[in-house]
Structure formats: structure tokens, C-alpha cells
Amino acid sequence: MHKILIVEDQPDIRTLVRVTLEFEDFEIHEAGDGVSGLKLAEAIRPDLVLLDVMMQGELDGYQVCSRIKANGALHQTKVVLLTARGQASDREMGRKAGCDQYMLKPFSPLELIETIDQLLAPA
């Protein structure tokens, strides 16, 4: 069973994503900000992180993504950035942070599941 960590500061969006994923066979964990998300990622070593870009607190999604990818124990973890920021410069920041996929809000539940399935498929 794949472990997925949802890091999102808006509880309603976090709930929507969790409910979407509950129809699949995933172990789901949640965090409400970048710092707690990074700590939880280090503790549980998820297969994939769904990461909001614009969050309140010390770390935004780009910073969390960069730290996950720089961590030797987590560098294989897939990271999907979820954001309303769709400018080319935003996507470039995501690429530089090391994200595996950049999804714009709002996204469909089906699109989210397909993205996760593609990223977690055996090579």
C-alpha cells in the first residue's frame, strides 16, 4: 500500500483531496503547514506528497519540495505541487524545486488519481 502525505493549509481542500484518495488503496497522512509536513514526511517516508504551494507559516511548498528532494532518505519521494499559480515563472520555480508534477487548482478528482497512478506506477 502506497503512503501519501497531503500538505495543505486549507482544511476544506485537504478534506476534498483525502476523500478523493479514500476510494483508492492508499495510506493517507495529512499536515496543515510546511514545517509539520516536512517533519511528517521525514517520519513516515511517504511514496508521494501532495503539496500546496502557497501556505501560511515558515515554509512554502517550493521550500518543502526542495528540502524533500535534498534529503537522502526522501529524494525518491514523488512530489506533486498543487497550486492556483499557473504562470510560467511559477512552473519554473516548481521545476527548480524538483517537483515531479505541477497541477493547477481547481483540478478534477479523476485528474488527481490519474496523476498519482502515473507517478507511482512501477518503472
30, β-bridge pairs: 6
Say if CB 5 and CB 37 are below 8 A apart.
Answer: yes
CA distance 62 to 95: 9
Q: pLDDT tens-digit profile of 33-81?
A: 999 999 999 999 999 999 999 998 999 999 999 999 999 999 999 999 9
CA distance 70 to 64: 10
Percentage of residues in the chain having pLDDT higher than 90: 93
CA distance 85 to 89: 9
- In terms of CATH, what superfamily is 2-120? Response regulator (3.40.50.2300)
Q: How much is the pLDDT for 7?
A: 98
How many other β-carbons are positioned within 10 Å of the β-carbon of residue 48?
21
Residue 123 banded pLDDT, cuts 50, 70, 90: confident
pTM: 0.96
